[in-house]
Amino acid sequence: MATHSEIMKQVCTHLYGLVVVDHKARIVFVEENYAKLKGWKMEDIIGRYIKDVVATSRLPAVLETGKPILGEIFYSEGKPLICNRVPLAKDGVIIGAMSFSVFEGVDKLIYSVEELRGELNYYKEKLKNNSGVKYSLENIIGSSDAVAALRTIIVRAACANSTVLIQGETGTGKELVAHALHQESRRSHHPFVKLNCAAIPNELIESELFGYDEGAFTGARRAGKKGKFEIAEKGTLFLDEVSQLSLAAQAKLLRALQEKEIERVGGTAPISVNIRIVAATNDDLEDLVKQGTFRSDLYYRLNVIPIKIAPLRERKTDIPLLIENFIERYGDQAGLGKVAIAPEAVKILMAYEWPGNIRELEHAIERAVNHCNSSFLEPIHFQWLLPKIQKQGKFTAGRGIQEAKAAIEKEVILDALQSTQGNKKKAAELLGIARPLLYQKIRRLGIQ
């Protein structure tokens, strides 16, 4: 009787081109006949990073996203092959990935598969554009444990229909997470609607959320207007800066969530709604509940599935990947082609605490690329960060966490105001927040 290892060896021989990597994309197994065909010696390739052996390998992408890449067609020695790449998981955590190919009997399928894939990509892109979604799971960049855990919880939360509360500091990518959550969910073919609660005056928030009927108030449209709840029907409603809602608006939002129905302003008939609420804030809602500025019952109703995004200073290993992404984006926009960065410049960026998180890093790269006269970023392009790096130690010495965070936030806002010569509208745009929220922070932090 054949042993377990002999059976597995036979299984592997039928998986043409089988390659297995661990969670860091290091090779742990290659099918023996495939290795011989490629001229590889096992002792030379086991443990090596997959792209150092197969430069075009997409297994790192599978590890990054946690999603399989199936049915990709390519040619080897004139023969068509279909390559499948799948993640390997244990208890919901990605532990590796594998790739293998199918080549028998695929010749007749090649044309029809490629044609169907083209049509599918066309309609996917069309649906994506129509739904209001800009980002997906692939846009969440990083190789840290924090990012891996974030991707995992997004995929898990996407399978449910409960409300989600995304919490994280300014610039950590809360909106990006909301987009990815919608994209991964069963509601992805329906609208993704965003409302920035800090950007809408309190007297208008109710009509923005629930809409209004004809004659509801002076200046109302003759036919009335749908609110965000109705526009997002069957899809996702993303409430950004939800902590900025007034207590009156919070009460009405709570009722809509509990009853799954709304009433337009000036209307009399309830309207049933089928949407999923995803809320986000950079404030600590538990603290606001204690202060009496946020309803506890609404907090518990929103916080069914909590997602907390780690600040960039707690996952600095992601910085090099983010730098690479931003350099490519802004290098192309500036017409510089492929832009490189000196290791010494990367060290400067790694030393900074990034109180504005990913958004601040992105602005720093954009600024450097636009001041670069070549295609190579050097330490001189980031010299303006050095005083901040020296100063950041002073923020935390002898202070509590909240006081230190406030000091850093104040410094970031002052820098934005200085960069825009005191123009608060431009400063709010630079910081990526609504102007009313910037005014609130200026008052709270005592900025003159």
Q: How far is residue 238's CA from residue 192's CA, in Å, rounded to a whole number?
A: 7
Which overall architecture, per CATH, does domain 315-445 show?
Orthogonal Bundle (1.10)
* Mean pLDDT value of segment 93-107: 76
Q: Which of 213-222, 348-357, 396-405 has the lowest mean pLDDT?
A: 396-405
Kind of pairing between the strands at 164-167 and 261-262: unpaired
| CATH, range 4-110 | 3.30.450.20
Residues in contact with 364: Cβ distance below 8 Å, sequence separation at least 6, in sequence order = 349, 382, 385
- Do residues 277 and 302 lie in contact, with contact meaning Cβ atoms separated by under 8 Å? yes
pLDDT band, very low/low/confident/very high, at 268 (cuts 50, 70, 90): confident
pLDDT at residue 79, as a whole number: 63
Where exactly are the structural domains of the chain? 4-110, 137-308, 315-445
Whether the predicted model's global pTM rises above the 0.75 cut? no
Over residues 160-198, the pLDDT tens digits come to 999 999 999 999 999 999 999 999 999 988 999 999 998
CATH says 137-308 is which class?
alpha beta
Over residues 355-414, the pLDDT tens digits come to 999 999 999 999 999 888 778 898 889 988 888 888 776 555 445 556 656 776 777 788
Residue closest to 364 by CA, chosen among 373, 375, 352, 374: 352
pLDDT at residue 221, as a whole number: 60
Please give the C-alpha separations between residue 404 and each of 308, 355, 392, 396, 400, in angstroms, as whole numbers.
20, 10, 10, 5, 6
Greater confidence, 224 or 232? 232
Centre a 10 Å sphere on the Cβ of residue 28 and count the other Cβ atoms it contains.
12
The secondary structure of 141-186 as a DSSP string is ---SHHHHHHHHHHHHHHTS-S-EEEE--TTS-HHHHHHHHHHHST
Over residues 147-163, the pLDDT tens digits come to 999 999 999 999 999 99
Q: Which of 97-101, 106-110, 414-418 has the lowest mean pLDDT?
A: 106-110
Residue with tokens 């202060």: 291
* Mean pLDDT value of segment 256-261: 93
Q: Which residues pair with 278 in a beta bridge?
A: 164, 238
